[in-house]
Amino acid sequence: MATWKDKIEVTRENGEKTLMAAPQIISCSRSTDIPAFYSDWFFHRLRIGYSAWTNPFNNVPSYISYANTRFIVFWSKNPAPLLKHLDELEDRRINCYIQYTLNDYELDGLEKNVPAIQERIDTFLKLEEKLGYGGVVWRFDPLILTDKIGVDELLRKVEGIGDQLHGHTEKLVFSFLDLYKKIVPNLQKAGITIVPWQQEQMEQMAQGLAQLNQKWGLKLATCAEKIDIGKYGIEHNSCIDGELIVRRAYKDTKLMKHMGVEIYAPMPDVPGAVYLPDGSYFMGIHKKDNGQRELCGCMAAKDIGEYNTCIHQCEYCYANTSKTTALANFERNKEKPFSESITGK
């Protein structure tokens, strides 16, 4: 099976010939909110055929060709700007789904720069109408306890959104806030007192979600969590999910060949089979990307985002080491909106 590490030679806009990774599956992106702030940049680069990316660990620039791209997983807290671009993806025969982080911390000072909650719910419904059922995955991520938000209040917040999304999504993904050292100063500066999750509270939250889910019938899953709460019907998630990708793009023979998937003619009751809308089926093929964190279940895909570029400015954000740097990078993008990299460098 081909991987995103396979390379092709591409002539850049400056005339230089450069070897570039040519992934079939793109993650757009764990590192920043490209749909919210850089949609126009991304789709311009998609038309040009490549973009640049800087490795956050060694600051070495590298390049990604979109010549072979067949599928994109978008991650966003405000994917409304994608709505005007989705037809272009369809024209290019590139399929997608959206990991939509839709939290309700509107009155808690945790997510000051996201749109109002009802506006974000309306966006979710519009995207689901466009992409179809299963095309937008709901994330309430992370679950946060503070001196003002207890488990019962958090469940109420989840319920308020879940009732409006009922029938428009098939899954709820969540995680419990990890209190990384680098986010503590931002929380302190904002006057927010975080209460660390304890085992008993996680169990209480899981049980409450399972009870709420009796009226929704969603798949419930945790993102990169060690705790096993399977007894509540909650599984470990794969956010870049091979089986979901196949379900959404099984007619794309090139992508199926890349993924090593064989589609079989309809046959009822095959043990372990994943059934498709036309009655055909395939056997589960999901394989974890060993390059991700130990508890991450994602399959291999090339992430194209960069840290220190998201201006949602969420107080608990781990992707920005500095709000000032993130704002400066965003302003640089505005000055050079179509350069090779998000940061305009």
Residue type present at position 117: I
Q: Give the pair of three-digit tokens for residue 24.
A: 């079939």
Confidence at residue 59, expressed as pLDDT on a 0 to 100 scale: 85
Per-residue pLDDT of the chain (345 residues; tens, 9 = 90+): 445 567 999 999 999 999 999 999 999 999 999 999 999 999 999 999 999 998 877 888 899 999 999 999 999 999 999 999 999 999 999 999 999 999 999 999 999 999 999 999 999 999 999 999 999 999 999 999 999 999 999 999 999 999 999 999 999 999 999 888 888 888 888 899 999 999 999 999 999 999 999 999 999 999 989 899 999 999 999 999 999 999 999 999 999 999 999 999 999 899 989 999 999 999 976 676 666 766 787 888 999 999 999 999 999 998 998 899 999 999 999 999 999 999 987
Residues in the chain: 345
Q: What is the pLDDT of residue 286?
A: 63
d(CA 12, CA 22) in angstroms, rounded, equals: 14
> What does the pLDDT read at residue 224?
85
Distance CA 25, CA 57 (A): 22
How many Å apart are CA 205 and CA 176, to the nearest integer?
Answer: 10
Q: How far apart are CA 304 and CA 30, in angstroms?
A: 9
DSSP state of 133: T
Task: Give the span between the Cα atoms of 214 and 325, in whole angstroms.
Answer: 44
Amino acid code (one letter) for 45: R
Domain limits, the chain: 90-241+286-301+309-335
Q: Specify the pLDDT at position 2.
A: 44
Residue 21 phi, psi dihedral angles, 5° rounding: -60, 140
